[in-house]
Structure 1
Amino acid sequence: MRRATSLQRRLGFGLTLGVTLLWLLATAVTALVVEHTLNKTLDSVLEETAQRLLSLAVVEIFNREDTDLLQQVAALHPHEEYITYLVRGKDDVPLLVSHDIDLSVFPETPQMGLRSTATHRIYGISAVSNTFFIEVAEPLASRRQAKWQTLGMLLLPLVVLIPLSLIGIWWFVRHSLRGVLEYRNMLEARGAGDLSQVRGKNLPAEIVPIGDAVNQLLERLRRTLEAERSFTANSAHELRTPLAATLAQVQRLRREVPDGPVQDRAARIEVSLRELSRLSEKLMQLAKAESGGLLAETPQDILPIISHIVDDFQRAAETPLVLTLPNEARVMSSIDPDALAILLRNLIENALKHGQENQPVEIIVSGDGMLRVINAGVVVPREALHRLTDRFQRGKSRAGGSGLGLAIAQAIAVGAGATLTLASPAPGRIDGFEASFLLAH
């Protein structure tokens, strides 16, 4: 079964991812806008620079003694020149160049207007009736560098934004879902037998109908189970008296009638009445096991109870019982003594009925509170093992019984917050059956 994902985790990661994607989208749009604006501004700078330099260059050339002489403008101090220019005459003869110029950047004949080469952005303009030409070039690498620097400054906040967003969103979602988390914890902490209403506080409006529906379902389930248990207990209780009276009358009849068909018929009736009486007793035990309240307020030593129950069976049973107690003086448990007695009696009865004759039934109590009842016998198939705790389920055995013993033990285990474990073959053996129960401390 696939593990469910936390709503808090979904919202936290989803919102953080959404904020990050929106920021990246905004960064991409901003980068395009910045690139367009930057190119427009730098192109305007190239035009303005070319127009201003050309007017100064024309004056400079006219004031020379030799107007055809190439002159390179000297730098006032060393620096990296981003914008270079070339002034040419009417015969494309270079007349004035910047100090750090690479003539291979410029075409052999001047071209007017803005254009781009593989490496530079160039603007050309003429003056004095197309007698003088100037071309100003700017490396495209400088523009790309400016664009990437701007993009980097926009992306840099993500390094801090993503962790802060995750922490902030996680805290906000957790704070907003506090009522839901408390409601979940209350449900997880409840035992299987606790059908009281769940009082959820600070639930979101969307969850309130679910909480109300859960409480209504628990209430309906509680009333149904109470009605079933009440019917079972009352029916069993009401049957005890007439069954006992009828059984006494049948036993009296057997003593009064001579041997013959009537005596045999009365014997069969007596056996049936005894079975009904035992079934009535089992139904009352089942009603008690499912009624809740199987834990005492204070833990107490369970070894005397176990010893007393095993002694009762040892005096009455033909099959020997072997009791093994821990070396510790006491084993403390919170299980109700009556519930423990019902549980142990049903496990021992099950072992005596379905175990191999002349083989002892072992009752072992360990120091950590593990109760084990082991009997010899044929191995129970795996597919039938997990059904033995269902009501009126019996193994493939000729022994009598109602099929309620292990169901009662399972109900007590659930009500006590423990687990009844069935194993066949018994651990460490090649045959047999073991029922183990870790007593609640």
Structure 2
Amino acid sequence: MATRNSLQKTLGIGLTLGVTLLWLLGVTASGLVAQHEMDEVFDSALEETAQRILPLAVTDILNRENGNGSQRAPALKDHDEYLTYLVRDAQGNLLLRSHDANPEVFGTTPKEGFSSTPTHRLYGVSAVSNTIFLEVAEPLAHRRESALEAGLALLFPLIVLVPVSLMGVWWIVRLSLRRVVDFQRGIESRGAGDLSPVAEDKLPREFQPIAVAVNRLLDRLHRALESERSFTANSAHELRTPLATALAKVQRLKIRISDDQVKKDVTEIEEALRSLSMLSGKLLELAKAEGGGALSQNQHDLVPILAMIASDLEEQAPGRIVTSMPENEVNSFIDPDAFAILVRNLIENALKHGSPNEPVEVSLCEDGRLIVRNGGHTISPEQLKLLRNRFERSNTNTSGSGLGLAIADAIAEGAGMTLYLRSPATGRQDGFEAELVAE
């Protein structure tokens, strides 16, 4: 079965990821804008620096006494230079440079305006009729470092904001869906036999039609079950009474007849009426079993019900029923009448089809498992699969309607239980075993 995702979990994670993604996109866009603006600021600084240094460099070069040799500008103290410069003539001869300048960074001939190399950003300006050129260089690594620090400064708040947003989104989603969760838990916690309406007045507007539809379905199901129960009860009364009356009249008639042949015919009629009465009872039990009334709204102790059925059948077969029941209660939501019908059919089936010389073992465990075991001939696996069908019997020489196991299986299915049929019985070489297990 596929795992169902929680709406609360899906919304919480989805909204948090969505907000985080939007923040990341916003940080990325802000970082790109900041980098563009920083490039403009750095370029402006390069241009401003060149224009400020150029007059000083030209004055220094023109006032030299020893010609136009290259000189290095002295540094007042050691420091890292982000901006370095060269002063050259039109042929590229070096006239002046900053103390930390590397001529290899600059081109072989000076240029005016902005230019870039793989490692530096350059700006050049000229003076004295384009005879003296000043170029200022800035490492691109410095700009990348500045952009990275700016991006991290924008990204750092997310480390705090993402967990906070996750908790905030989760809290808002949970608060918004609390009525839906209560609705879900209310339906989940109720037993299968509880057909009372579910609360719908506090649900969000989007979920209210679901609650209304569920209540309508529950109402229709409740009315259908009540109609089925009423029909079953009325049919039982209407069918059993005339059959019992006819059987009583036939029995009285049998006593008055002296002719052996006529008495034999009346006896056959009596047996037919008795079989018809039993068959009608079984059919009514099957209708009840298939009508969906196998569960009740409250739990009931199964021990006294099993003891009563076993005691009742013990009178019909003295000494053949051996029961084993726990001392503690065994509670279940199965309807008491349905459980009584199920147990009666399983034990009657064992008494009829089991060996008459061996007992019928009836065991009820504390975990709710019911086991009915009898001796007798084994049943083939092919025939064992057919015993759940209506009017199917393993031994046609034995009286019976062939509905006992079909009724028991229908009640077990309606109660959410499983009926296992085995032959030979567990721990034996022969016999038959029926085990009812709650899922």
TM bucket normalised to smaller: 0.7 to 0.9
2 CA distance for matches of 1:105 and 1:284?
A: 104
The equivalent of 1:140 in structure 2 is: 140
- CA-CA distance at 1:234 after TM superposition: 0.5
Pair 1:312–1:230, CA change in 2 (3 A) = closer
The equivalent of 1:258 in structure 2 is: 259
Pair 1:333–1:393, CA change in 2 (3 A) = same
Quick check: 1:364 aligned with 2:382?
no
1 CA distance for matches of 2:298 and 2:132?
A: 110
2 CA distance for matches of 1:72 and 1:332?
A: 104
Pair 1:311–1:202, CA change in 2 (3 A) = closer
2 CA distance for matches of 1:179 and 1:16?
A: 22
- CA-CA distance at 1:173 after TM superposition: 1.2
Q: Is the 8 A contact 1:88 1:95 kept in 2?
A: yes
* Unaligned ranges ≥5, structure 2: none
Give 1:184-199 correspondences, 5 Å limit: 184-199=184-199
Bigger shift: residues 406-415 or 14-23: 406-415
The equivalent of 1:302 in structure 2 is: 303
The equivalent of 2:6 in structure 1 is: 6
2 CA distance for matches of 1:244 and 1:288?
A: 21
Pair 1:237–1:379, CA change in 2 (3 A) = same
- Residue 419 of structure 1: which of 417, 420, 429 is its match? 417
- CA-CA distance at 1:372 after TM superposition: 2.0
2 CA distance for matches of 1:296 and 1:230?
A: 21
Q: Is the 8 A contact 1:319 1:359 kept in 2?
A: no
Q: Is the 8 A contact 1:179 1:201 kept in 2?
A: no
Task: Report Cα offsets for 1:146-198 as digits up to 9, x if no partner.
Answer: 12222222222332333222222222111111111111111111222221211
2 CA distance for matches of 1:439 and 1:55?
A: 100
Q: Is the 8 A contact 2:330 2:367 kept in 1?
A: no
- CA-CA distance at 1:310 after TM superposition: 2.9
Quick check: 1:151 aligned with 2:151?
yes
- CA-CA distance at 1:401 after TM superposition: 3.9
2 CA distance for matches of 1:62 and 1:263?
A: 155
TM-score, structure 2 normalization: 0.86
Secondary structure at the counterpart of residue 275 of structure 1: helix
Bigger shift: residues 277-286 or 126-135: 277-286
Task: Report Cα offsets for 1:336-386 as digits up to 9, x if no partner.
Answer: 876654443222112223434534311123455543211235347489659
Q: Is the 8 A contact 2:294 2:338 kept in 1?
A: no
The equivalent of 2:247 in structure 1 is: 247
- CA-CA distance at 1:112 after TM superposition: 1.4
- CA-CA distance at 1:439 after TM superposition: 9.1
- CA-CA distance at 1:434 after TM superposition: 3.1
The equivalent of 1:122 in structure 2 is: 122
- CA-CA distance at 1:73 after TM superposition: 1.7
Bigger shift: residues 90-99 or 331-340: 331-340
Secondary structure at the counterpart of residue 191 of structure 1: coil
Size of the alignment, in residue pairs?
Answer: 431
Give 1:180-219 correspondences, 5 Å limit: 180-219=180-219
1 CA distance for matches of 2:430 and 2:147?
A: 81
Q: Is the 8 A contact 2:54 2:134 kept in 1?
A: yes
Q: Is the 8 A contact 1:294 1:412 kept in 2?
A: no
- CA-CA distance at 1:88 after TM superposition: 1.3
The equivalent of 2:221 in structure 1 is: 221
Secondary structure at the counterpart of residue 316 of structure 1: coil
The equivalent of 1:237 in structure 2 is: 237
Secondary structure at the counterpart of residue 81 of structure 2: coil
2 CA distance for matches of 1:387 and 1:44?
A: 96
Pair 1:367–1:230, CA change in 2 (3 A) = closer
RMSD of the alignment, in Å?
Answer: 3.3
Quick check: 1:38 aligned with 2:38?
yes
2 CA distance for matches of 1:85 and 1:64?
A: 19
Pair 1:216–1:80, CA change in 2 (3 A) = same
The equivalent of 2:68 in structure 1 is: 68
2:434 maps to a residue whose letter is A
* Unaligned ranges ≥5, structure 1: none
Quick check: 1:435 aligned with 2:431?
no
1 CA distance for matches of 2:102 and 2:174?
A: 64
2 CA distance for matches of 1:286 and 1:254?
A: 33
2 CA distance for matches of 1:112 and 1:43?
A: 14
1:166 maps to a residue whose letter is L
2:248 maps to a residue whose letter is A
The equivalent of 2:329 in structure 1 is: 332
Give 1:316-395 correspondences, 5 Å limit: 316-317=316-317, 320-326=320-326, 330-334=327-331, 341-366=340-365, 370-376=369-375, 377-379=377-379, 381=381, 388=388, 392=390, 394=392
Pair 1:410–1:153, CA change in 2 (3 A) = farther
Pair 1:421–1:88, CA change in 2 (3 A) = same
Percent identity between the two aligned chains: 51
Q: Is the 8 A contact 2:418 2:438 kept in 1?
A: no
Pair 1:427–1:89, CA change in 2 (3 A) = same
- CA-CA distance at 1:418 after TM superposition: 7.2
Pair 1:372–1:101, CA change in 2 (3 A) = same
Pair 1:80–1:206, CA change in 2 (3 A) = same
Pair 1:50–1:333, CA change in 2 (3 A) = same
Q: Is the 8 A contact 2:346 2:372 kept in 1?
A: yes
1 CA distance for matches of 2:165 and 2:151?
A: 21
1 CA distance for matches of 2:386 and 2:328?
A: 29
2 CA distance for matches of 1:386 and 1:132?
A: 111
Pair 1:393–1:66, CA change in 2 (3 A) = farther
